Amino acid sequence: MARHLKTGASSTSSSTSNAPSNVPSIVTAVIDSIRKDGDSAVRSFSEKFDKWSPKSFKLSESEINQIISKLPEQVIKDIKEVQHNVRTFAQAQKDSLKEFELEIQPGVFLGQKNIPINSVGCYIPGGRYPLLASAHMTILTAKVAGVPHVMGFTPPINGSIPAATVAAMSLAGADSIYILGGVQAVAAMALGTETIPKVDFIAGPGNAFVAEAKRQFFGAVGIDLFAGPTEVLIVADEFADPFTVATDLLSQAEHGPDTPAVLITTSEELGRETMRLVDVILPDMPTGELAGTSWRDYGEVRVAEDLDEAYKLADTYASEHVQILTKNPREALTKMTNYGALFLGEKTCVSYGDKVIGTNHVLPTRGAARYTGGLWVGKYLKTCTYQEVRSEKASGELGRLCGRAARVEKFEGHARSGDLRAQQFLQDDHEWINVAQKQRPEQRL
């Protein structure tokens, strides 16, 4: 049985958060105000929360071009390279989806189409960090899916426009860009205002308030995921490098003060050395205070008897990011089933997935990896079916079957739709049709 070398000072469950308990009521109040007063309420909350009240929250094309022109050439090149990776992978995902039509029996055709959502709003977080990578993951993926109108929203940072984020949004293909953040941005997208069109779907990560706003609007609009704090879990054996393990745990712990960072190892020696190295690395880390808080309160180190136990234990966490630092990392592909994304071997890392490699970084948290994957091109597509019956004989036979099947369930109205076609095409005789037709002699079959 696995044993702990370290537990967090707070609850180690990834379902917990240090978000204030009054978040839902604050979010509800903001939403209600924007529902009632539209743009004026949006502006009021932007002033209150972000000290931001420009003439227009929407950037003009000339403003976007001017912002991009001031960025270093290397930043633009890097954005384009990363977006090439994301686009290539998203296109491969789309290509794996199949539309089809089959003749399930003579004269009966069933089909499937993948239809892009008409309008999507993408939230690109700011605040502590300008997460321009989220523009690649949300906006670009939506455009690859074929969404005709994609709006991007990002908050100002300390009263300024985040230039690199705007560049990423524009290069990703956003049809409109708004410098607007928080609950007010989510509510404007979901409800629509005098100047901001309503969307059908909202994607993108955010803080506790943004996540709660998305939760409250789910159903009225679609959302990608119910987001929680970032999570990382590393499975390591005795062949792993403890310095790499410590570095990679802290790379995710810096996301926020409530990031679960978990190591499951088959080597107690590696576990203890990793803990020592974390303490060595933290003091020299610019984000060390934040990462250290997460490690102290939510960090875990557990020792398993063998890798089979380690993989089974890792599956119980259903972590957002699972990194495999073992002699045979690909073994995890068959041993594990619950994870947002899997990172195999020391030559890759979660940070690659977050920023550059091409897979999507919007992933399930709080155990949701037990039943869903992350954001992908398919989230922006509606898989819809259709049917057509071209054979009179087939229609009549289906009508007979429908009549029998529906009456077992006591759905007489359903049964009668089948009866009608059985009588039309196979000359069946149904008393209820005959009676009804006598009332309208001009309607003959």
Residues with catalytic roles: 320-321
Burial class (CB in 10 A: 0-12, 13-18, 19+), 410: exposed
CA 277 remoteness from chain centre: 33
Residues 418, 427: Cα–Cα separation, whole Å: 13
* Distance in angstroms (rounded) separating the CA atoms of residues 413 and 330: 55
Cβ-based neighbours of 267, under 8 Å, separated by 6 or more: 236, 237, 238, 240, 303
C-alpha torsion angle, residues 20, 21, 27, 30 (rounded to 10): -80
Q: Residue 422 contacts by C-beta under 8 Å, 6 or more apart in sequence? A: 396, 397, 399, 400, 403, 428, 430
3-class DSSP assignment, residue 120: strand
- Helices and strands in the chain: count of H runs, count of E runs: 18, 14
Among 213, 187, 82, 188, residue whose Cα is nearest residue 139: 82
DSSP SS3 for 418: helix
Query: Under 8 Å CB-to-CB from 321, ≥6 apart: which residues?
Result: 230, 231, 232, 233, 252, 339, 340, 341, 343, 350, 353, 363
